[in-house]
Amino acid sequence: KRARRPKPCSLREMEVTVSELGLGYESDETLLFRYCSGKCTGHRRNYDITMDHMRRTGFRKKGRKDKVSNGPCCRPIAYEEDISFLDNRSRYHTIQDVSAQACGCV
Amino acid sequence: MILINIISLMFLLDVCVCVSELGPPGWREPLDCVRASELCNQNSQCSSRYRIMRQCLSGGDKERSTMLASKECQGALEVLQDSPLYDCRCKRGMKKELQCLQNYWSIHMGLTEGEEFYETSPYEPIHFSEEFRHASIISDSSLSKVTPCSEGGKSCNPCLDAAKACNLNDTCKRQRSAYIAICTKATPPQSSLANQEPCSRKRCQKALRQFFERVSWELSYPLLFCSCHDQACAERRRQTIVPACSHQERHKPTCIELRRTCRSDALCRSRLADFHMNCQVTSHTVTSCPHDNYHGCLMAYVGLIGSDVTPNYSDSSPSNITISLWCTCRGTGNQEHECDAFHRDFTHNTCLKNAIQAFGYGSEGGPLTVTEPQATFFPPAQPPIISKPAPSLHGNAIKPMDSACVFSTCANLQDGGQKCIPSEDFECEEALLAQGSINSQDTDGVKSSAQKSAPPFHHICATVSVSILAKLLL
């Protein structure tokens, strides 16, 4: 089996109905849901390398049990504008910050 | 890849349109009224009369008619009737549209001050090249993703499909969300006003006009003219323009008042005149529409949305379509006859009804109330500019909402028409779906994969259409 090169952090999209968003709205209207996914290995800073090392050594020595994330994370850095839709009871709703517009390793 | 094809196709079509405008002898594009008034201003005699004319029209309703009757105003009109301003026209959605319309009415209001019931539309007639361009794009548009449901499909809702198609297009989604957000936003509560409006009507109507101007008709019309088999669907169709804000009002005016309000505004007056001209029921044609031009009527109808006379479906009946304005003729006394005549052009308009049904249901499928031949969806409004016959483009090929096959002119051409015999349209639909799913199912790196797996289908489509064009132009 050939090793796959990890895909970098990027914007992906899929078609979902509003109901499937899990926000409690019931509507069969279909939207394009955009999200962020991919590896952020190329974006590690000294902070991440140090943190990784500290978690394994320094923290234990000093008795710390803090949770820290292991490296930069692929997250939306901008969201799409408001999305409006008509629900199954013929009422309009407008929702914000549902779909990603740009991704970054933060 | 698909996009590039579409763009290049549009570019090519644009070129063709320009060529055809130059081409035919004996037919001249009417001058636009902005240009006409510029020309008039270059001539000292014309410009002075034009200035006088504008003063004649500056007063209020009553003042105006006495002014217009005066010798000076009549003299000015006489001169201006020989100027380029007299038969200038405006283009829909042109730059400086409002200025153009104001220029138009500055002459024509004087000519028709006798309160003519129907006025001449200041807009150019919808001519062949324009429709041709529209029709051709259908084959490539995202509409082909919408699968019109066969009778008895368990969750058949073409209006929902239209919403989906809009949501999947960034411009359409943005513009739709914009008007919905504005039209459903409550005005800030003011305790002093007991009867405040639920929303900002003016802003809502402006956003609606913008939506229909900026979004291509292939995406906006299906939202408004989708065909329905049940009430849920019809209610969605009725809700398209957010009628609670854009259509209804707390106070229901008489239709006479409504018409007067509309006529005092250059844009509304123009759109109304355009509606009357393009949707006027006529007994001379099979479809009841002037020149059998459904598209012209739908365009004129859409032009009214967002004006003072915003029409809408009066209820959520799926099959029995009734369009009305938010006004009444009760208590109009001796004007009741005139009032009824005005409102009946909306409520009892066979041309409009047929146009809406033909768009949504196609010529098979739906309940067509009036007999209607197959090949009349995009008939030319004028004698076609292109003189050679173009049977494949006039016939069954161009009927947008007919069936899955008909969406794609190219499907016919590609397969020699084999798959697109109506009885076999399921097969064709499947083929279309299969093409579409290549794009949508691959969730990894959408952008790049879409480019790699661009279906050859669209490519063929574009090239075939172009070669047809080439033939037509020769």
Q: What are the φ/ψ torsions at residue B432 (nearest 5 degrees)?
A: -65, -45
Q: Are B97 and B91 in contact, with CB atoms under 8 Å apart? A: yes
- Report CA B453 to chain centroid distance, whole Å: 35
- Dump the DSSP string for A35-100: EEESB-GGG--HHHHHHHHHHHTHHHHHT------SS--EEEEEEPPPEEEE-TTS-EEEE-S-SE
Residue A41 CB neighbours (<10 A): 13
CA torsion through residues A59, A64, A70, A75, sign: negative
**Mean pLDDT across chain A:** 89
Q: Take residue B102 and report the two structure tokens written for it.
A: 């104001």
Q: Are B127 and B385 in contact, with CB atoms under 8 Å apart? A: yes
Cβ separation A94–B444 shorter than 8 A: no
**Nearest-angstrom CA–CA distance, B457 and A61:** 65
Can you name the residues that pair with A79 across neighbouring β-strands? Answer: A100
Separation in Å, CA of B445 to nearest CA in chain A = 6
Higher pLDDT, B461 or B83: B83
Which residues are within 8 A (CB) of B72 and not within 5 positions of it... i.e. 6 or more apart? B52, B56
Cβ separation B236–A13 shorter than 8 A: no
Q: Are B311 and B323 in contact, with CB atoms under 8 Å apart? A: yes
> What's the confidence (pLDDT) of residue B2?
55
**Nearest-angstrom CA–CA distance, B140 and B410:** 9
**Nearest-angstrom CA–CA distance, B116 and A8:** 68
Q: Name residue, tokens 């009885």.
A: B423
Q: What is the pTM of this model?
A: 0.70
Find the CB nearest A90 among B160, B177, B239. B239
Of B369, B185, B138, B449, nearest to A10 by C-alpha is: B449
Q: Are B228 and B234 in contact, with CB atoms under 8 Å apart? A: yes
Higher pLDDT, B435 or B220: B220
Which residues are within 8 A (CB) of B34 and not within 5 positions of it... i.e. 6 or more apart? B96, B99, B100, B103
Q: What angle in degrees, to the nearest 10, is found between the helix axes of B170-183 and B158-167?
A: 110
Q: Which residue of B has its CA nearest to A84?
A: B177
> What's the confidence (pLDDT) of residue B66?
76
**Nearest-angstrom CA–CA distance, B408 and B428:** 10
**Nearest-angstrom CA–CA distance, A8 and A46:** 20
- Dump the DSSP string for A10-44: EEEEEEEEGGGG-SS-----EEEEEEEESB-GGG-
Cβ separation A13–B176 shorter than 8 A: no
Cβ separation A85–B242 shorter than 8 A: no
Which amino acid appears at position A17 of this protein? T
Cβ separation B239–A82 shorter than 8 A: no
- Residue A100, pLDDT > 90, answer yes
Largest CA distance in chain B: 76
State the pLDDT confidence band at A99, using cuts at 50, 70 and 90: very high
* Structure letter (DSSP) for residue B113: T
Q: Take residue B42 and report the two structure tokens written for it.
A: 């270059």
Read off the pLDDT of each residue in B178-188 and give the average, rounded to a whole number: 88
**Nearest-angstrom CA–CA distance, B334 and B292:** 35
- Residue B385, pLDDT > 70, answer no
pLDDT tens column, B337-358: 999 999 999 999 999 999 998 8
Question: Cβ of B327 under 8 Å from any chain A Cβ?
Answer: no
Separation in Å, CA of A106 to nearest CA in chain B = 20
At CB < 8 Å, which residues of chain A contact B? 7, 10-15, 28-32, 81-86, 88, 90, 92, 94
Q: What angle in degrees, to the nearest 10, is found between the helix axes of B128-138 and B2-22?
A: 170
Q: Which residue of A has its CA nearest to B177?
A: A84
- Residue B21, pLDDT > 60, answer no
Separation in Å, CA of B463 to nearest CA in chain A = 30
Cβ separation B236–A90 shorter than 8 A: yes
> What's the confidence (pLDDT) of residue B139?
38
State the pLDDT confidence band at B361, using cuts at 50, 70 and 90: low
State the pLDDT confidence band at A3, using cuts at 50, 70 and 90: low
Cβ separation A82–B443 shorter than 8 A: no
pLDDT tens column, A36-48: 999 888 888 889 8
